[in-house]
Amino acid sequence: MTILITAGPTREPLDPVRYLSNRSSGKMGYALAAAASAIGHRVLLISGPTNLDIPSGVDFVPVESAADMYQAVATRIGKCELAIFAAAVADYRPANFASDKIKKTDDVLTVDFVRNPDILGSARKEMGFEGILVGFAAETQNLEENARHKLTRKKCDFVVANDVSRRDIGFDSNDNEILLVYPDHSQPLPRDSKEHLAHHILEAALKLRPLPSS
């Protein structure tokens, strides 16, 4: 099976030396890529900037901004049977890119932001993806309820919800604690290493694979 995985943060440039980003280390997405590659799948890892080593055997596509990630996904997802979106994509980017470094002037600097494309939310309709679609939901409150909204809105088969208000799991930690949210039920997976949880997430996704017709 060919599996597309997004990972890491995006960087939204403000001027040649500054950008808006987030605390994603890429560990969750890279653990998924390593787990999928280890069991013999072809993996396309589309990743924002991280300090991690590229897992062996994976086809690696480095990107910076959400717009770059959108393009990278849109041109490749058609060849994949499973797509897992673990990246922390910036929902907004600065409305204007200053081609020169912004100078200090007044005490307050006001920056306008505009919406970035929703990559996961575009997979079904705009990109016509018909394979197994797994999203993530990074929440600080109402974990299951908010994840369930994302499941429906983004037309996923299931969503991996995590509580990103905690420092011991979620962003930039070695562990996670997740809730797999399906249309008709949810399954909690207790705190564990991202490597172990990656195997569980993959197993859950691969179970949804349609059996080959005889």
210: DSSP letter: P
Judged by CB under 6 A, the chain residues 145 through 174 that form the site for ligand PMT are 150, 162, 164, 170-172
Cα-flanking dihedrals φ and ψ of residue 150, to 5°? -65, -40
Q: Tokens representing 68?
A: 């770059």
The Cα–Cα gap between 209 and 204 comes to: 10
CA 29 to chain centre: 7
Sign of the CA dihedral running 93, 97, 101, 107: negative
Cβ at position 9, least distance to ligand PMT in Å: 7
Q: Residues binding ligand PMT: what is the number (CB under 6 A)? A: 27
* Interface pick for ligand PMT out of 4, 86, 180, 202 (rule CB under 6 A): 86
**Interface mask toward ligand PMT for 9-48; x: CB under 6 A:** ---------------xxxxx--------------------
**Contact flag: residue 118 with ligand PMT (CB under 6 A):** yes
* Interface pick for ligand PMT out of 3, 34, 66, 133 (rule CB under 6 A): 66
List the catalytic residue out of 22, 116, 162, 176: 22
Q: What is the dihedral of CA 195, 68, 75, 23, to 10 degrees?
A: 20
Spatial contact of 151 and 136, defined as CB atoms under 8 Å apart: no
Which residue numbers are catalytic?
A: 22
Residues making contact with ligand PMT (CB under 6 A): 6, 24-28, 66, 85-89, 91, 116, 118-120, 135-138, 150, 162, 164, 170-172
